[in-house]
Structure 1
């Protein structure tokens, strides 16, 4: 399979140099891109459109539209798509590695520090990290609700989705919520066809796209069967994280309830460790999906440490590779389809409700135990939303304030 149509061949040294350059560009982004997926897209636009002129403004917007439509981390998927455009499949791997490795390595090291040297990290600091997770998720709910739930119908979908997820916290219920929201969107919303759009400058054949989508569906269906029949914990972890990466709509923060449902009730990761890692994930640059590396390294059963972190990291990002490569040939037609736009409107409203449910449980119920906890969470929320303090600084200050507050209790 080839990603691009026939182009003049390059010598291998030049290919390696270009791949290395691509890696360094994304590595710098991976080291400096704080602020979540929306901020990441801003960094990407400045780098790829304004500075390097790798993409036109319209082409970049088209890639963002595609990745917002797909499940998974939109910013990472845009990076993968840019990598495909620049250097084919190897370019996709190199761009993903550069953007993802800095935060993944830091979170694996943090997980090893908690599991092996827990006494070196004060419990009060861990509690501060759990409290700041409340503010971060509340910020996501606030921002998404203001932009997505703009009328009574969307607010109602959000409310029903939140109540359903609170009443039934298993993964199947969340899938049902997304499907019903899509059906409701088709019934309630209408969209007018947009003007003709420029074709994306990425040449993936329809045949190649169908093969990648078939592999995605095969893994999504086959991994649960393999994991149950084999009894292997490694296959079970691979199945769980691949499924989460396949079902997360609405950005990285929505991954929280799905991952929590997979690893906490089963005892693979304690709830305290889960929320401490989620708080730590806010302090590192790059995609929030690297939280999977922390969880894999923190497992109490099966693969753990570095091997577990790498396994879960690759599993949760694998759907993004398959979906981006598989959907590019068909996106130009789909994104102009009014029915598809209507279904997506319903899904986006339900995503806000799922995030609202996650804000209460497990984030709020596991972190807010005293008035001082609420005060710290409120201060962190105001700092993030209104004072525009960088998230990494809010996380660090919350950990320090948690330690300070513990001395007066």
Structure 2
């Protein structure tokens, strides 16, 4: 059966067996909706490997144009699962768990060791998946040398680091962190008869990217371009205004409940999805009016406790926020004629909010408090955008003897 609607439905049924979160499940549903739409338009709704290859090429083109990487990777993952189901009747979870078919698959014993290492680690699932890739790569390396874990030496570690640096120099932080986990495991298991100093596996500090913000004029253009006469426009305007005026994260906008808003005090009280810490934020009158306009005149009739709902039935919580809100701001920027810069997304509103506070010389502790950071270090990147303040730190030549050259005399 090569009907795209039937195949995508079957893959989704298989994915339901693995108890993904509601947000991840909705992401899969949206991705397969996109796949079906493409196949119905370009391949008469009939699956073939050739057509799937064309679909993946179209995704790579979007990726090169700077579209949301995470959302595109989700659709690529679903495309791989669709292909696997078509040929085998089963989905390829190796791809989903960062174990691409035929890539870095060591022996069964090594995989058991890796699973044990990761099981004991206090890490998030996404971080474990990434570490798994580098751990498997390392065990494939030693097995290629005819070794097992009991024969690992410092020289083996050094050789793998050198090889990894030649192949992917930007990944050395992941490589070294993963190797530390291996070494710690070997010592705890008594495989190594001596302790190994892991300090030599400390890579250089990772580089910091300065992601672009929006200017005040660009934000004004974007907000003014929203059609606030339609229910969708009222919702999108409220979400965009909430993001730029409070700096709360996309996931927290998605999870905002009606009970979280104190209309009399003009405040929002939420538990942040990232840090699990509570935060109380003031909300401007303009933002309160936008929220009220959406709730009273744009929000579908629903018993849901959440503020922002889908615009189409079923009128449930607005899930899949990262790709959804990124799409909203990208489309609105295009309508407003605001340039799409690499790295700009809905999260840029949060960065813009922090940058504006810093430019107004708001103290760093207050910036961190308003943005819900757990420590002040998280707020320091916003200070880098203060060109005026940074220029004041430049030193003069009064205390430096200049004996020649352009500045002499």
Please classify the TM superposition score into its range, dividing by the shorter chain length.
Answer: under 0.3
Task: Report which structure shows greater RCO (CA 8 Å, sep ≥6).
Answer: 1
TM-score by length of 2: 0.28
